[in-house]
Amino acid sequence: MAGHNHPSYLKIYITLVILFIVSVAGPEVAPAFGVFAKPIVLLTAFGIAIWKAYLVCAYFMHLKFEKIYAPYILLACFSLLFVFFFGTATDAMFANGHNWVKPVSEEAAVEEAKARSYVLHGSHDDHGEDQHDDSDGADHDDDHDSGDKEH
């Protein structure tokens, strides 16, 4: 450990400050560049954020000088972030629920029940409201919507 030559932390700090200025200024001036505005915002805001994060991890967190398993653990944690996003994407990215509520089968079931003259609810008008009550919080909005559509 003692054998390593650490870089000047001040230099890293100044680099970070300059990058910070760029990352603030970039999105500010981006609209002037017309069609390039979006890539410029992405690059200056997020690209530079990644670079800054790398500098902090590598130098201030000493990962560049640690045994190799330390950065591996960090990378493993980081990759788990993507696992989490992947696992929740089907729910979180379709929070309105159109991806999993099955209006077709529900309607078919209602029709089938009607055909058997089996009274599901007091009146047709109550139907949407009842569905709303049965649903748990997650699909709240969507059920309401699908109920409305049926009307």
Partner 1 sequence: MAEVAHAEVGHGDAHDDHHEQSFWSKYVFSTDHKIIGFQYMFTGMAMALIGGYFAYVFRMQLAFPGNSIPFWGTLSPAAYNSLVTNHGTIMIFWVAMPVLIAAMGNFLIPLMIGCDDMVFPRVNRLSYQIFLLSAIVLIISFFVPGGGFGGAWTAYPPLSAKAEYNSTPFGAPLWLIAVTLEIVAFLLGGINFITTTMNARAKGMKMYDIPMIVWMIVIASILFMCSVGPLIAGAVMLLFDQTLGTAFFDAAAGGDPVLWQHLFWFFGHPEVYVVLLPAFGIVGEITCTFARKKLFSYKLILYSTIGLGILSFFVWAHHQFISGVDPRATYLFTTTTLLISIPVAIIMFAYIATLYGGSIRFTTAMLFGLAFTGEFLLGGVTGIWLGSSGVDIYLHDTYFVLAHFHYTFVPIAIIATFAAVYYWFPKMFGRKMNETLGKFHFWGTIIPFNGIFIPLFILGAGGQHRRIYNYQHFPDLAGADMQDMRVFATISLIVMLAFQLVFIANFIISLKKGEKAGKNPWKANTLEWITESPPPHGNFGETMPTVYRGPYEYSVEGREQDYWPQNEKPESEPS
Distance CA 136, CA 144 (A): 12
Distance CA 106, CA 99 (A): 14
If binding is defined by CB under 8 A, does position 136 make contact with partner 1? Answer: yes
Options 34, 35, 67, 122; binder of partner 1; rule CB under 8 A: 67
Lookup: tokens for 26: 């970039």
8 A C-beta contact, residue 59 and residue 9: yes
Is the Cα torsion angle 24, 27, 31, 37 positive or negative in sign? positive
If binding is defined by CB under 8 A, does position 76 make contact with partner 1? Answer: yes
If binding is defined by CB under 8 A, does position 129 make contact with partner 1? Answer: no
The footprint of partner 1 on this chain (CB under 8 A) covers a number of residues equal to 27
If binding is defined by CB under 8 A, does position 143 make contact with partner 1? Answer: no
Q: List interacting residues with partner 1 (CB under 8 A).
A: 1-2, 66-67, 69, 73, 76-77, 80, 83-84, 87-88, 90-92, 94-95, 97, 99-100, 136-141
